[in-house]
Amino acid sequence: MIIELAKEKYNGAINVVEIGRPGASVIRVGGETTLPFLFREGGMPNAPVTALEILDCEPMDWPDSLREPFGEAIKDPIRWAKAAVEKFGSKLLCVRLQSVHPDYGNRSSGESVSVLKAITKEVKVPLVVIGCGDDDKDNELLPKASQVLKGENCLFGIATQENYKTLTATCLADGHAVISESPIDVNIAKQVNILISDMGFDPKRIVMHTTMTALGYGMEYVYSIMERSRLAAFIGDKMLSMPFILFVGQETWKVKEAKEFGRRQGVNWEIVTSVSMLQAGADILVVRHPDSVKAITNYIKEMMR
């Protein structure tokens, strides 16, 4: 007796989002019609991608095991960016404009934007650009950064339920995609996407960040929220049909074990967390250690065969 495996078939699909200037280097994410890597049930036309994260200043709180691969370049954001792309092979670069934060240097937005502009002249890969996390600072900084990169088709973040209007308006004017963020909650994730779309922003230019953790039950909860969002999208919910971006490096290197037990433990933690998030549906993984980029990229290639 032949037993056939049950297969789920869905009518919906995840939006395809392009990052990068047409005619140059372009990254496409999304397009799935099934849960991750279930190729007998649907398609994954675009493989997930990994981005290395850099700051616009020397990091103050990174452990030596994380700083070591970049050497002296980590003190110069332009050299750091070139190393990330040319030496470590990152096809997508995430630049966090951290230096304007009151606790991290309190630079002027003009200084930060100048660094960002210099980086874009030196590296020719698509960019994810993130603010410092302080709403007042970001509302001043991100419009200037968006204008400087007009025409580059970057992915800008982060828009939240409390602070989305300024970023949405500037990305609409300058032709960038937007990251919408929610606190591990499907309903809020959908609401933020609706709010952004109601400003006239194309929902197919939104990438979702559900927020995450890299440890224990919290990571399981993130997984379940992402899976629920995907299933809702597959049955036709257009306000949850966005690709996912996850800042794995930021969360992983907060963990005490990653900081204190050396490079190998930290890298392993980053890789394992990334693999878990890929199985949950991640489309873009932002990591901090170059060893993780290589390992995760190889894993994705193997899974996409």
pLDDT along the chain (305 residues), means of 10: 78 96 89 95 96 96 92 97 96 97 93 96 96 96 97 96 97 98 96 98 97 84 95 97 97 83 84 95 97 96 95
Q: How far apart are CA 212 and CA 228, in angstroms?
A: 15
In which residue are the tokens 């020719």 written? 124
How confident is the model at residue 110, as a pLDDT?
96
Q: Give, in order, the Cα–Cα distances in Å from 211 to each of 20, 68, 156, 176, 218.
A: 24, 27, 16, 21, 10
How confident is the model at residue 137, as a pLDDT?
96
How confident is the model at residue 4, as a pLDDT?
75
How confident is the model at residue 57, as a pLDDT?
96
How confident is the model at residue 48, as a pLDDT?
98
How confident is the model at residue 2, as a pLDDT?
77
Q: Give, in order, the Cα–Cα distances in Å from 26 to each of 121, 148, 153, 262.
A: 16, 19, 9, 35
Phi first, then psi: what are they for 29, rounded to 5°? -130, 160
The model's pTM is 0.95
Q: Give, in order, the Cα–Cα distances in Å from 58 to each of 35, 70, 78, 81, 291.
A: 39, 11, 11, 12, 20
Give me Rg for the CA atoms of the chain: 19
Single out the residue of 85, 86, 9 nearest to residue 40, CA to CA.
9
Q: Which amino acid is at 199?
A: M
